[in-house]
């Protein structure tokens, strides 16, 4: 897969993400007007969580793809993308958060596996 393929995929994901944001705005208007309940809004939010998570993580990957190889240019790149990086960190979509999430999931899986092995003895 070439970098251009990743970019193409990212822009398709971005398009879907923006559509989702527009739809959520419509849902918020309907909620304020009393046309839908808070539970219905929450159910709608749960439906789009996967899309948002995918978009955020792919955005971080795009940041890494665009990161200059030269250390002297990386600081400028980081400053230019500071707002995005802070938002991704807040949403736990940056590298450290994802690695911690994966480690936690792996630790939980191993604990459950150990528990199952002990139960079968």
pLDDT tens, position by position, 6-38: 999 999 999 999 999 998 888 889 889 989 888
Torsion of the alpha carbons at 68, 71, 74 and 76, rounded to the nearest 10: -120
Q: Give yes or no for a contact between 54 and 13, defined as CB atoms under 8 angstroms apart.
A: yes
| Averaged pLDDT score across all residues of the chain | 89
Domain boundaries, the chain: 3-119
pTM for the structure as a whole: 0.72
């Amino acid at each position: 897969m070439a970098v251009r393929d990743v970019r193409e995929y990212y822009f398709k994901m971005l398009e879907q993400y923006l559509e989702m944001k527009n739809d959520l705005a419509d849902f918020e208007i309907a909620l304020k007007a009393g046309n839908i309940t808070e539970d219905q809004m929450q159910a709608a939010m749960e439906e789009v969580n996967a899309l948002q998570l995918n978009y955020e993580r792919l955005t971080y990957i795009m940041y890494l793809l665009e990161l200059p190889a030269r250390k002297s240019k990386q600081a400028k790149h980081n400053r230019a993308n500071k707002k995005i990086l802070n938002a991704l960190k807040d949403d736990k979509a940056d590298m450290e958060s994802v690695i911690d999430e994966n480690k936690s999931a792996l630790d939980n899986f191993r604990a459950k596996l150990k528990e199952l092995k002990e139960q079968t003895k």
